[in-house]
Amino acid sequence: MKVSLVQMNSREDKSQNLKEAARLVEETVKSEAPDLIVLPEYYAFLGEGRSNIHDNGETFPDGEAYSLMSGLAARHGVTIHAGSVVEKEGNAHYNTTVVFGPDGKELARYRKMHLFDIDAPGGTSYRESDTISRGEEIVTYKVGDTTVGCAICYDIRFPELFRKLRDAGADVIVLPAAFTLMTGKDHWEVLARARAIETQTYFLAVGQALSHADGKKWCWGHSMVIDPWGHIVAQCSDGVGTTSARLDLGYVGRVRADVPVAQHHVI
């Protein structure tokens, strides 16, 4: 199974973000021919202000981002794990991943469970719960015979979710993110490798990069493919770009046989 990660620098211009996402997907299909393409969290719009964020959300299956990714998946016969966008449902808004199969149809939908409400080092505050409601469901889907688990950004700090994804059969776990520069430089790689090691899965951590909010906020980037032993096998640099890797899915079984942690849980 071949995977490609698309690292972006999304900002407040949704139309421009979608054009850039389409360009990167098209280029990746042409150069890498992957089975699975993954975009970052909030790839369609990364902006400030409750009303602004809600106004740029979408009601599925309507909306520009939904239609774009469905069309790209069908046109190229590829599975697209479309990062996340704001999903509107009634009066609620969710930070939602939608996955599109090679026929363009929706394969899975995951709503972020853990909301990012912190005062970051450096004095910047983030209150995701001011604009976003919490999801409640564990979600997996199939790429061929391979089970893939879903998570988003701040979820990475809660290992209970990833254990449940592994127990649901995931051999690959995907985490789109917009990790901050201040937390990312110290925690991004450590947490991503830890989640891969403890679940013994391939872990695809796909981030936003560079600045947004008129330069007031920065994302860490460093999108990575990590193997079940915790080794980084592919990584983006600091800016916009892509990286790809072939996943040896037989290696998942060998690692689990060598260190059978799933059989040793007592709580």
Active site residues: 41, 112, 153
β-bridge pairing 172-177 and 202-207: parallel
SS3 per residue for 117-132: EEECCCCCEEEHHHCC
Written as six digits, the tokens of 101 are 């199969």
DSSP codes of every residue in 18-41: HHHHHHHHHHHHHHH--SEEE--T
Written as six digits, the tokens of 248 are 């040896």
Q: How far is CA 74 from CA 40, 65, 101, 106, 141, in A?
A: 20, 14, 7, 11, 17
Alpha helices in the chain (DSSP H): 14-32, 50-55, 64-76, 159-167, 181-183, 189-199, 249-258
Phi, psi of 217 (to 5 degrees): -130, 145
